[in-house]
Amino acid sequence: MALNILDLKWKSDISKSTKINFFRACVESILLYGAETWTVNKELEECLDGTYTRLLMRVQNLSWKNHPIKSEIYGDLPSISVI
């Protein structure tokens, strides 16, 4: 998985905004590859949003145990199902 390969980058002292931009360029494009041909239903939307949320949390080194709120995870990013 592309996210695992870049694990050292996510745990480094790079700024949060740089990590997010790098994530969007490298990982998000792989996640959405071929999405223009998908038939999106509610179940797929929820699956994509959940996966995207977990990936963003990992990039930002946020633990689910701390119960971060969506605004803390996403900031000003839209949910992946909107994209």
Residue 82: inside a domain: no
The pLDDT of residue 49:
92
Residue 8: inside a domain: yes
- Residue 53, pLDDT > 90, answer yes
Residue 56: inside a domain: yes
Domain total of the chain: 1
Q: Which pLDDT tens digit goes with each residue over 1-46? A: 667 788 888 888 899 999 999 888 988 888 888 888 888 899 999 9
* pLDDT, mean of residues 52-57: 92
The pLDDT of residue 30:
86
Residue 79: inside a domain: no
> Measured between alpha carbons, how far is residue 46 from residues 41, 52, 81, 83 in Å?
9, 10, 8, 13
Residue 52: inside a domain: yes
Q: Domain range for residue 28?
A: 2-74
Cα–Cα distance, 49 to 44 (Å, whole number): 8
Residue 9: inside a domain: yes
Q: What is the pTM of this model?
A: 0.82
